A and B are shown apart, each in its own frame.
Chain A
Amino acid sequence: MKVRLLALGDVPPRLTEAVLAGLPRPFAGGEVARLPVALDSCYDRQRAQVDAACLIEQIPAPEEGWHVMGLTGVDLFMPALTYVFGISHLGGRRGIVSWFRLRFEPDEPDSAALFVRRVTTEVVHELGHGEGLVHCVVPDCAMHRSLWPEAVDLKRPEYCPACLATLTSS
């Protein structure tokens, strides 16, 4: 399975390259591309956030053997929820991840490597949903649900044996 990582808006090329290089099995390489999306059309002025459900509809459907994942720095929300790190069509092989809430706070010692690891882990998480996986109870599996950035650090950017077996058998 190959992954097309789409830069939505202003995305540092080093980040997309590092994330693509860090994807675990069963994803094997892929490519980085840019997609000129209309962020404004999904922007909610009252909430000052971008509607993830609206934005994901701008991601084109993938070809056979590919998985498309958007990467963005805007703050995403879903109408009923205050924020989300990412969103996927369950089993639909498309998704989006935002690093807006994965950034380190200004007073935290910055660690570029740890930040890339966080973003990669959430990309791996959304890729799993795109392949039909639901949340996993194994604490360090990428499919474990994380609701704040520090919780993402407790996971590894890989699937546990059970999730990997599900992915490879499907």
Chain B
Amino acid sequence: MMTSAVRILVVDDEQHVRNSLATWFREEGYDVSVAAGGKDALAILTREGTNILLVDIKMPGMDGLELQRKVRELAPDATIIIMTAYASVETAVQALKEGAYDYIVKPFDPEAVSRLVRKAAERYSLMAENRALRERLAGALPTLVTSGSPAMTRALELVDQVAPTDTSVLITGESGTGKELVAHLIHARSNRRFGPFVVENCGALAEGLLESELFGHERGAFTGAVARRRGKIELADEGTLFLDEIGDVPAKVQVDLLRVLQDRQLTRVGANAPTPVNFRLVTATHRDLEAEVAAGRFREDFYFRINVFMIQLPPLRERAEDIPALAEHFLRQFATQMNRRISGFTPEAMAALMAYPWPGNVRELQNAIERAIVMCRGDRIEIGHFPFAVAPAAADVSLAGVEAAHIRQVLAAASYNVAQAARALDIDRVTLYNKMKKYGIERP
């Protein structure tokens, strides 16, 4: 009985129509209920839940159209098929405009009614499958690990508070504190969670390129624009656009973004006509934007537009009580990925994790644990497996010597990913390259 999961409700004031359809569909293996009018139908719908409703358009009291509107409110996913006589086809067309799946004229051709209900049942099954997959996908999103530090608990409360709204959110915090993860959480807990989550790192691109990335371009808009391309803003339609390092956005792009936020439409580079857009904006920065505004490096009107709701993420050193939980989380994650059996940390290793100031925050901790798992040969992580703990005794205490040692340490923690280390050090990549050259630091 393949169709037993689908529940059908036949609503008709004529008893013989209800009975004959119920017999017909029960023989198909459907779970069938009948109702003589709209009131009974709504009671059954509320009590039992129904996937497909066959509704007579002409009934005394609540007619089919009115019932359809009420069903739409109670069970938006239910599929409604309108039953009509030839005389009321126009009303059936009205029902279609209001969201009915289809209509069928009485008396029904057995083949037509069977095919129509089979199609509706298949549609219901696909929708149910789709919903289940989306829920599973939403459940698979990463979660913020915390053991209940007050600072992080407050931040998570704010996430829960703002997520279901459509308000623009600005996330601030040092590099590596998990700003993108929080943005993803806001999206995952919002009404737009089934839409796309689109990320753009505004600090990584030159002005012209950033503009094209965000707004898209028409074919031939500039040299190399060989085809029309949709920008990240358009790709985020019905979803969330996360702009990381918003403090690095050039003034001209700030103006363009401000216009998009105000008008809810954008014009691709090289295009004449605007395109409507519908997205929620979440931004993040490690900079002090108020200071940037005061210094004239960031537009005040744009700042107010993106900073409707602010979430400040604390640095790891201010929530040291979360370090054991985070360390265990990353240990499990990487040990599984690398197929290693490591049970935990020695007490000395955990003490070292707690004592270290973590200038690169959670990202640095994550990298340190990953490296330690690679280094570990036993079943527990020891203090010597951490990059920050194996630095030689500081014989050179000059400022340059300390700086060189610190850069080596951060680079090691970032597995010599220069961009990542530069972010942790809060300097740009070119500066880091210059310093590496100055101190003779080379990638292993």
Contacts and interface: CB of A to CB of B under 8 A. Distances in A.
30 contacts: A47-B107, A53-B16, A77-B107, A78-B23, A78-B24, A79-B14, A79-B16, A79-B107, A80-B16, A80-B17, A80-B24, A80-B106, A80-B107, A80-B113, A81-B24, A81-B107, A82-B108, A82-B109, A82-B110, A83-B110, A90-B23, A90-B27, A129-B27, A134-B28, A135-B27, A135-B29, A137-B2, A145-B27, A147-B114, A148-B111
Interface string A57-81: 0000000000000000000011111
A87 interface: yes
Interface in B1-59: 1-2, 12, 14, 16-17, 19-21, 23-24, 26-29
B52 to A, nearest CB: 15
A116 interface: no
Contacts of B2: 137
Q: How large, as a class, is the contact surface on chain B?
A: 20 to 34
Interface string A69-113: 000000001111111100110100000000000000000000000
B99 to A, nearest CB: 23
Interface of B is mostly: helix
Given A83-B110, A147-B110, A78 B20 contact: yes
A135 B28 contact: yes
A111 to B, nearest CB: 24
Contact of B20 (A53, A129, A148): A53
B108 to A, nearest CB: 5
A83 B112 CA distance: 12
A81 B106 CA distance: 7
Interface of B: 1-2, 12, 14, 16-17, 19-21, 23-24, 26-29, 83, 106-111, 113-114
B17 to A, nearest CB: 4
Q: How large, as a class, is the contact surface on chain A?
A: 20 to 34
Interface of A: 47, 51, 53, 77-84, 87-88, 90, 129, 134-135, 137, 145, 147-148
Contacts of A135: 27-29
B110 A84 contact: yes
Nearest to B19: A53
Nearest to A84: B110
Contact of B1 (A134, A145, A148): A134
Contact of A134 (B20, B26, B83): B26
B27 A82 contact: no
A142 B311 CA distance: 66
A147 B113 CA distance: 11
B28 A79 contact: no
Contact of A147 (B20, B23, B111): B111
B111 A87 contact: no
Contacts of A137: 2
